[in-house]
Chains A and B, each alone.
Chain A
């Protein structure tokens, strides 16, 4: 199944720590992806108190796009913009990405809540996306 995903990790101050487009890259819709995910943060703020789980499932919808979210205990938001619904795969993807993020946090040279520049992180996220989403 070929599809387009937009994945972002949002820090506690609402700024993106990491973002990537998975699948087909479309330059023209980059701002729309960011807008949709950014707007969905409002709903994540509401939804995270309704559930004890980290994975909040689909929190928002805009036209054909769904936004799934995953909130870590330190209030880092993992957001995925996607068309097709695949709750289990997305949950696994989020869980593994959370683990990746934790490993990044362990890096003494990484200052928390700052953008993640690591290419290794990028490669691993893409690998996880291929594993779970495509």
Chain B
């Protein structure tokens, strides 16, 4: 590009401020010029004024010699100082546009690579080639300089007068030229002290052969007449126009002028014409020599002379303090000086008269500057500056400031450093802010341009942006140019390019270009910004490459099916990708600064739209929509523009591709894939999923069992079933949008199909006609899918028409769980394939309609509620296995399932839980199973009978459930515990037959219901010894009605125990206390006595539950095989106390199972807390459900009034047998059968278990009395002073385990204090001196378990009256019956007992 290198930077300044020579020619000369294609003689000379090699030594203003290498001059044809050139903003805009248009199509600058800024190119390349329009602009701007009063650069230093030899009177013509108006104007601007130089040229036209003879003579006359400053010039010697032998020379000659015109007046219209048709190379050499001769011989010496004269005239101003004082004195003392030297011009500025010392100083400095004596010029400028500042001649002041800065940068740049910057800053701000002339902007821009050029020359790019941004901003295009140059300057910064600064100022330039309606350049700048923001620091590139690697890993773990689905998804999103690969990332901005990206994409999108480049505009707008951080207001704006773009582009034929492509992916409205749900059988309640059933009471879990909380079981459905997909659609915008024809895009893979099944044939997907979303509204949309074939379905995304215009696709594909198994997975980011939004269609899956009716919200504690489970087989396959699991087995009891007939419509009459009987037996002995089994899983269809050892509980299950059949299961729910509970019911079904122990994957439906259980009755029980009979215990029950408004009728109490029977203490107490008003309480007291088996009752032959537990524990610890057998049945005694006329038979199954489940619940909790080291799975094989000496208590009640609810409360496990730590005996090693070798871990486990059981035994000792003592005193015999009575003392052993050897000491009342051990208290209320024991007072004997020993004693009393005979001490120690030297045994078996109550006896006649 030739124009780009128009002028070197330093030369640019020296050429701009070069001397001007006024070249005036007589009319005869015009013809000689015109034949060569020139309008004026100045045009002819113009190329020869550039870089004239003078090579002379001249003197500077102070007489010192210096070498002038070369000089530039310009030839002008006119001089008019009154002509004001004040470009306005619009002028500048049009100028910039012309410059840009002259440069043609603007491509990206060379430093812009595909991956950001190429820094090497940016550092090495010439800045002027990046924006050639700026080079044109600055050339044109400086070339447009006009003469001004405040400076003398444009004032001609000489007048060149040219006359032709062909004229009749050349001398006359020259004299006429000397008196022309232009010359007069030049003279008027002189200072009077120095004269203008006239240089006379006599031109000989070679065509005028006639004049050839006389031309020398004429020139002699001219020289004689006008002086030595004259020259003879011969041109147009090429008279042989017809010959074309020297065509190459013609071109060469013509290019001398054409290149000069393009350099000096780049924007001038220059028609294609051949310059110098009549000139030969000899003429050209003559012209060059003539100009050089003129400069060397006349002009430069004349200028030196001017400098010398002016220097002398202004000596006093310049020299030292004296001159300054004189000047100051004149200024301040002579008031007329100011008015004489200055005047106010037409533009309102203060100027100096030409003869004033200040004007002469300026002229002197300018002349010195033009002769390249910058040092002297600067000193003179600085002197003048002080005067201009004090006179407030701001234009003059700014002018010299500018020149001082230029001088500093031209000669003492290394020493002054940044001083020039403040000088230029001052100059520009003075021009803009303080001057009032219309040309102030011109000067300010010139100053900025000159300064910038000098900075570029010195590579001071750090100052360039500041200089450019200080420039005047009266025109948008000018601001744009300066911003663009500032941006480039940042790229030239050392030590490295400031790319981010470049991006910022390029963006500002783009804005200004846009404002100036220069969209091409605006677009170019924005593209530069977009690309340059890709330039990243090295570490970022490394980090990103790591990310890319990890993404590659994601694809590695994808299953083949998933990969094929992804391909389909990708093809759906961009179906045209194969046809025309468009790299989206390369077009749109993708930094991580959201607002920056949005701005760039929006602007570029709009610009692309303006030039009808819809394809690119779409990409920009789609990138805009993809940013979720964009504020809603902007998003709505972008949306409107996108819709507009779509409408506009649809009119264009080029949009056909896009129409075929179908949908584009937008971020609005947002559909969160994580919130999307697939709901199987949506018309039914509960969650439908595939679960793994273990049928051992544990909750049906995820398939595989190890899935975390985030994993989900695969969803399955059968063919023809309705599957609902629930989408949560959110509108992030502040304005409302409408979605129409919303449907899903799915991928389908058939099972066993060799050919690929089309999705349309395999799935029926519903279409939602319209979804209206208000601003910021969230709504749920359900789309239904009906599969027609077996296979796997994966949901890829949602399709809809946005605002009825824009076809949009929304991907719903998510990354799966992040993996963390291997080192690579931990170091990278690896996800499993996501299966959240997918389900499989199976042909062999049962299709059941499962409903649960009448589930309660609120229950009273203890009361019953009947719900109903209905299962109907609506599929075509028979169902062979149905099971139910409940989370709270103690709450739920079920009845056997019953098949529904059509006539009965599935309703089953249930007689209720309570079967009242008018004749309930007082005591009844029933044999019941004693296995601690789990009751949370029930087999409803397909399981075997309730066989011993079966894990799942079978309730008379059905054989199978054929197609179209249905059954119902009554479910009784009892409020077992007060509080809020969430009951889970899970019903699983499978077509295959499964045995009760199998692990099965079943299609399951999970129901959850929240139940609040409110308190109804509070029941407390207590036990205390009986005073009358040592074998008996008193069992008290306190019942309080917690309800505020309803009375409760107590119906019956039932006690269940293996060895006790309970009878009411006072017969007939029931009916009175049976009715409990609100907030009332009643106490029921029973006597618990060992049951004496009737002769007809055959004792059970199996071992007792306690012994079973001891044996099983021993086997668990010492044997190599874990215990597997279950305890045998136990014979329970049911003691009923009926309060009313109707009782309840609780030996019936429903009630019995409730009581059993409550007991199981309590037992399990006790065992889990007491023996944490024994796994729960062994509990049923180690511990029996009932213990022989425990008592379970059930209280039946019925509400009086209200809803008339009935219910029962129970208290389980009241243990009367002592001691309680019999299990420690199981810790002793067996005599035989122990495993011989153990692994060390097993040893540690065993030791820990032994320690824990042993320590629990220590802690579990209760302060029970294993022995009870009762006294029976016969009537005292004797009369007179001494009465004697026999006393039978019976000692009863309550313990079922140990025989006790005891020593009974009968104490004398008056020795009481001595016998009682320290710390024990023995209250004695009788007379101590009145009586005493006779005979032997110490008795020792053995009492068997549950046995009684009787000791006979006698007492003597000296006076009639009432005495307290309960004065004894019993020392008992258990005789351990276990064989061998047991390491472990029951602790604290020895005890010392004292009477707890007085025993009064009447002596004598009363």
B-contacting residues of A (Cβ < 8 Å)? Answer: 12-16, 27, 30-31, 33-36, 38-43, 113
- Flag the segment in B537-545, B942-950, B1186-1194 that touches A: B537-545
Q: Tell whether, in the assembled complex, residue A27 and residue B540 are in contact, meaning their CB atoms are under 8 Å apart.
A: no
Q: Which parts of B567-623 form the interface with A (CB within 8 Å)?
A: 591-596, 598-599
B498 touches which one: A12, A13, A42 (CB < 8 A)? A42
- Contact status B631-A30, CB under 8 Å: yes
Residue contact B498 to A15, C-beta cutoff 8 Å: no
Q: Which residues of B contact A39 (CB under 8 A)?
A: 498, 500-501, 503-505
Q: Can you show 5 pairs from A to B with CB atoms below 8 A apart?
A: A13-B543, A15-B591, A34-B594, A35-B504, A42-B501
B1195 interface hit (Cβ, 8 Å): no
Are the C-beta atoms of B503 and A38 separated by less than 8 Å? yes
- The answer to whether A16 and B500 touch across the interface, beta carbons within 8 angstroms, is no
B504 touches A36 (CB 8 A): yes
Residue of A nearest to B592 (CB): A15
Residues of the A chain whose Cβ atoms lie less than 8 Å from the Cβ of B500:
14, 38-42
> B217 at the A/B interface (Cβ < 8 Å)?
no
Residues of chain A lying within 8 A (CB to CB) of residue B634: 27
CB B591 to nearest CB in A, in angstroms, measures: 7
CA distance A95 to B871 in the complex (A): 67
Q: How far is the CB of B429 from chain A (nearest CB, A)?
A: 16
Per the bound structure, the CA–CA distance linking A12 and B633 in Å amounts to 31
- Asked if A35 and B499 make an inter-chain contact with CB atoms under 8 angstroms apart, the answer reads no
Chain A CB within 8 A of B361 CB: no
Separation of A21 and B507 alpha carbons in the complex (Å): 22
Contact check, A16 vs B592: say whether CB atoms are below 8 A apart.
Answer: yes
Residue B1154 CB within 8 A of the other chain:
no
Q: Which of B501, B503, B595, B598 has the most CB of A within 10 A?
A: B595
Q: In residues 610-658 of chain B, which contact A (Cβ within 8 Å)? A: 631, 633-634
Report the minimum CB–CB distance from A109 to chain B (whole Å).
Answer: 12
Complex CA gap A36/B595 in Å reads 12
**Which B residue sits closest to A63, measured CB to CB?**
B469
Tell me if A12 and B595 are in contact (CB < 8 A): no
Give which listed residue, A14, A36, A43, contacts B540 with CB less than 8 A: A14
CB pair A113 B596 closer than 8 Å: no
- Interface residue count for B (Cβ, 8 Å)? 26
Interface centre among B500, B501, B591, B634 (most CB of A within 10 A): B500
Q: Does B79 contact A (CB under 8 A)?
A: no
CB <8 Å contact, B593 and A15: yes
Say whether B490 faces chain A, with CB atoms less than 8 Å apart: yes
Q: Are B633 and A27 in contact, CB atoms less than 8 angstroms apart?
A: yes
Give complex CA distance A33, B598 in Å: 13
In the complex, are the beta carbons of A113 and B537 less than 8 A apart? no
Tell me which residues across on chain B come within 8 A of A35, comparing CB atoms: 503-504, 507, 596, 599
Q: How far is the CA of A30 from the CA of B600 in the complex (A)?
A: 13
Q: Which residues on B sit within 8 Å (CB–CB) of A30?
A: 595, 631
Interfacial chain A residues near B537, Cβ < 8 Å = 12-14
- Any chain A CB within 8 A of the CB of B536? yes
Please state if A31 and B539 are interface contacts (CB–CB under 8 Å): no
Report A-chain residues with C-beta under 8 Å of the C-beta of B540.
Answer: 12-15
Residues A27 and B504 in contact, CB atoms below 8 Å apart: no
Q: Which residues of B contact A31 (CB under 8 A)?
A: 595-596, 598-599
Residues of B within 8 A of A13 (CB): 536-537, 539-540, 543-544
A38 to B1262, CA, bound (A): 78
Nearest 8 CB-CB pairs, A to B? A13-B540, A15-B592, A39-B504, A31-B599, A42-B498, A31-B595, A30-B595, A34-B595
Is there contact, CB below 8 Å, between B596 and A34? yes
Q: How far is the CA of A43 from the CA of B499 in the complex (A)?
A: 11
Least Cβ distance of B627 to chain A in Å?
12
With A and B bound together, what is the CA distance between A100 and B633 in angstroms? 31
Determine the chain A residues whose CB is within 8 A of the CB of B595 once the complex forms.
30-31, 33-34
Q: Give the CA-CA distance A59 to B543 in the complex, in Å.
A: 27
Extra A-B contacts (17), CB below 8 Å, given A34-B593, A42-B500: A13-B536, A13-B537, A14-B537, A14-B540, A14-B592, A15-B540, A15-B592, A15-B593, A16-B592, A31-B595, A34-B595, A34-B596, A35-B596, A35-B599, A36-B504, A40-B500, A42-B501
| Distance of A110 Cα from B536 Cα, bound (Å) | 24
Q: How far is the CA of A14 from the CA of B505 in the complex (A)?
A: 18
| Minimal beta-carbon separation of A77 from chain B (angstroms) | 12
Interface residues of B in 1158-1204 (CB under 8 A from A): none
Do the beta carbons of A42 and B490 come within 8 Å of each other? yes
Give Cα A13–Cα B503 distance, bound, in whole angstroms.
17
- On chain B, the residues within 8 Å of A36 by CB distance are 504
**Complex CA–CA separation, A36 to B544 (angstroms):** 25
Write out the residue numbers on chain A whose beta carbons fall within 8 Å of the beta carbon of B594: 34
Instruction: Give the residue name and chain of the B residue nearest to A111 (CB).
Output: B829
Set of chain A residues within 8 Å of B504, measured between Cβ atoms: 35-36, 38-39
State in angstroms the CA–CA spacing of A43 and B536 once bound together: 16
Nearest CB in chain B: distance from A16 CB, A: 6
Query: Closest approach, in angstroms, between the C-beta of A47 and any C-beta of chain B?
Result: 12
**A27 and B631 alpha carbons, distance in the complex (Å):** 7
| C-alpha spacing A42/B544, complex, angstroms | 21
Could you give, for residues 525-546 of chain B, a 1 whenever the CB lies within 8 Å of some chain A CB and a 0 otherwise?
0000000000011011001100
From B503, B504, B536, B598, name the one whose CB has the most chain A CB atoms within 10 angstroms.
B504
Once bound together, how far apart are the Cα atoms of A34 and B599, in whole Å? 11
Question: What CA separation (Å) do A35 and B593 show in the bound complex?
Answer: 9
- Chain A residue nearest to B538 in the complex (CB): A13
Q: How far is the CB of A4 from chain B (nearest CB, A)?
A: 15
- B596 contacts which chain A residues (CB < 8 A)? 31, 34-35, 38
